[in-house]
Amino acid sequence: MSDSLKYFRQNRLPHIWCPGCGHGTITGAIIRAIAKLKLDKNRIVVVSGIGCSSRAPGYLDFDTLHTTHGRALAFATGIKLSRPDLKVIVMTGDGDATAIGGNHFIHAARRNIDITTIVMNNAIYGMTSGQYSPMTPVGMLGTTAPYGTVERPFDLAKMAIASGASYVARATSYHVQLLEEVIEKALLNKGFSVVEAVSQCPTYFGRKNKIGSAVDMLNMFKEHAVNVKAAAVMAPEKLEGKFLIGELHNQSAPEFTEEYQKLIEGVRRKFDNFQGGVRECAQNSD
Partner 1 sequence: MTNAKLMQGNEACTLGALAAGLEFFAGYPITPSTEIAELCSEELPKIGGKFIQMEDEIGSIAAIIGASLTGRKSMTATSGPGFSLMQENLGYASLTEVPIVIINVQRVGPSTGMPTSLAQGDVMQARWGTHGDHPVVVLAPGNVKECFELTVKAFNIAEDYRVPVVVLSDEVIGHMREKVVLPEAKDIKVSTRATPEAPGGYLPYKADPDGGVPLMAPFGAGYRYHVTGLFHDDTGFPSNKGEVADVLLRRLQRKVEKAEPVIRDYAVESVDDCDVLVVAFGSSAMSALSAVRQARAKGVKAGLFRPKTIWPFPEEPLHDIATRAKRVIVAEMNLGQLVLEIERVVGGKAPVEKLGKINGELFKPEEILAAIMGGQR
Partner 2 sequence: MSEQNKRRFEHVIRERWCKGCNICVAFCPKQVLELKNGKVFAARPESCIGCKLCELRCPDFAIEIHEVIEGKAEGRDAAHLDFSVSPEAEHD
Residues that bind partner 1 (CB under 8 A): 12, 41-43, 45, 47, 50, 57-58, 61-68, 71, 74-79, 81-83, 85-86, 103-104, 107, 260, 263-264, 267-268, 271, 274, 276-286
93: which strand partners? 120
Q: Could you give the 3-state DSSP secondary structure of residue 227?
A: strand
Q: How far is the CB of 222 from partner 2 (least distance, A)?
A: 9
CA-nearest of 130, 128, 139, 133 to 196 is 133
Q: From the list partner 1, partner 2, none, pick the one residue 180 interacts with, judged by a Cβ distance below 5 to 8 Å according to partner type.
A: partner 2
Binding region for partner 2 (CB under 8 A): 1-2, 5-6, 8, 10-25, 28-29, 32, 173-174, 176-177, 180, 213-215, 218
Choice between 92 and 173, CB closer to partner 2: 173
Q: From the list partner 2, partner 1, none, pick the one residue 56 interacts with, judged by a Cβ distance below 5 to 8 Å according to partner type.
A: none
Choice between 74 and 214, CB closer to partner 1: 74
197: which strand partners? 120, 171
* CB count in 10 Å sphere of residue 230: 14
By the 10 Å C-beta count (0-12 exposed, 13-18 middle, 19+ buried), 70 is classed as buried
CA-nearest of 26, 37, 3 to 175 is 26
Choice between 88 and 182, CB closer to partner 1: 88
Query: How many Å is the maximal CA-CA distance in the chain?
Result: 70
Q: Is the dihedral of CA 183, 189, 190, 194 positive or negative?
A: negative
CB-side neighbour CA atoms (13 Å) of 138: 6
Q: How far is the CB of 20 from partner 2 (least distance, A)?
A: 4
* φ and ψ at residue 152, rounded to 5 degrees: -85, 135
Residue 127, amino acid: M
Choice between 104 and 208, CB closer to partner 1: 104
Q: From the list partner 1, partner 2, none, pick the one residue 83 interacts with, judged by a Cβ distance below 5 to 8 Å according to partner type.
A: partner 1
Q: How far is the CB of 278 from partner 1 (least distance, A)?
A: 5
Q: How far is the CB of 16 from partner 2 (least distance, A)?
A: 7
Q: From the list partner 2, partner 1, none, pick the one residue 77 interacts with, judged by a Cβ distance below 5 to 8 Å according to partner type.
A: partner 1
